[in-house]
Amino acid sequence: MITVLRAGPLTTVQDLGRPGWAHLGVPRSGALDVPALRRANRLVGNPDGAAGLETTLMGCRLRFEQPATVAVTGATAAVTLDRLAVHAPVLPVPAGGVLEIGRATAGVRSYLAVAGGIAVEPVLGSRSTDTLAGVGPAKLADGMTLPVGSSTGRAGPPDEDAPAPAAELVLGVRRGPRDDWYDVAGLFEQAYTVSPVSNRVGARLAGAPLTRRIEGELPSEGVVLGAVQVPADGQPIVFLADHPTTGGYPIVGVVGDVTPLAQARPGTTVRFRDLD
């Protein structure tokens, strides 16, 4: 059992998500930085899809009521065990040990895996917290307790370390289905910055508004991970793991890999590359 001493601004339970339920209005959800979660799980001998914790910017502080083996990956942040700095990615935590993930100094989201996984009850086949639909466990709060499963695996080598978050991201985009509604050439000709109001639902971008070509309203249409939606202000939004499954604003393209946005801090420069 783990007791949450400091939950941080947004710490959630995440695994690889719940694909296949969009027809019921439930998005995939899951870890925003999937490679980071996988690395953490492999370091402690868990299956790739075991549930861990995803922190946001300010980390969290946890007390482990039984001995555990943990790994921390993702954003660069100071990690302490009983107030002593820890530099190894994997560490044993004694019963009663207090582990703290501090403020992220590079990137946004840290991932904590515990041998055995976070064993909250699954919903629709996943233990992930969906912050938009409210499916899955609640986000962490001070005083909450979390069950830990039994460790059955052997720790193995993780994937290669992820590169440090870049100051400028270049995201490949395939056009459509509504790229005729805006002057999409403008999407590829300018730089955007990540807005502070971005979250697990979507990365909001700030830049010169795109010029609208077709007036009117669209009926709600399906939305997928990476969809680039342009609302009335002309500023694009790239949908992330907790995206809605339908939307009424035009989708002008789809980003092939949104993983870099998981660690993009507000103010990060984003450029789009036309894949068509």
153 inside domain? no
Q: Which residues of the chain have pLDDT under 50?
A: none
152 inside domain? no
Per-residue confidence (pLDDT) for residue 157, from 0 to 100: 65
Per-residue confidence (pLDDT) for residue 166, from 0 to 100: 78
User: Do residues 177 and 35 lie in contact, with contact meaning Cβ atoms separated by under 8 Å?
Assistant: no
Three-class DSSP labels, the chain: CEEEEECCCCCEEECCCCCCCHHHCCCCCCCCCHHHHHHHHHHCCCCCCCCEEECCCCCEEEEECCCEEEEEEEEEEEEEECCEEECCCEEEECCCCEEEEEEEEEEEEEEEEECCCECCCCECCECCCCCCCCCCCCCCCCCCEECECCCCCCCCCCCCCCCCCCCEEEEEEEECCCHHHECCHHHHHCCEEECCCCCCCEEEEECCCCCECCCCCCCCEECCCCEEECCCCCCCEEECCCCCCEECCCEEEEECCCHHHHHCCCCCEEEEEECC
Per-residue confidence (pLDDT) for residue 151, from 0 to 100: 82
Per-residue confidence (pLDDT) for residue 159, from 0 to 100: 61
Per-residue confidence (pLDDT) for residue 59, from 0 to 100: 96
91 shares a domain with 17: yes
Quick: pLDDT tens for 86-116: 988 899 999 999 999 999 999 999 999 999 9
Per-residue confidence (pLDDT) for residue 158, from 0 to 100: 60
Per-residue confidence (pLDDT) for residue 155, from 0 to 100: 67
198 shares a domain with 134: no
112 shares a domain with 186: no
Per-residue confidence (pLDDT) for residue 160, from 0 to 100: 63
pTM: 0.94
Per-residue confidence (pLDDT) for residue 239, from 0 to 100: 98
Strands 12-14 and 84-86: unpaired
Strands 90-93 and 168-175: unpaired
112 shares a domain with 75: yes
Residues of the domain holding 66: 2-146
197 shares a domain with 118: no
259 shares a domain with 186: yes
162 inside domain? no
86 shares a domain with 221: no
Per-residue confidence (pLDDT) for residue 276, from 0 to 100: 85
133 shares a domain with 64: yes
Structurally, the chain folds into a number of domains equal to 2
Per-residue confidence (pLDDT) for residue 88, from 0 to 100: 84
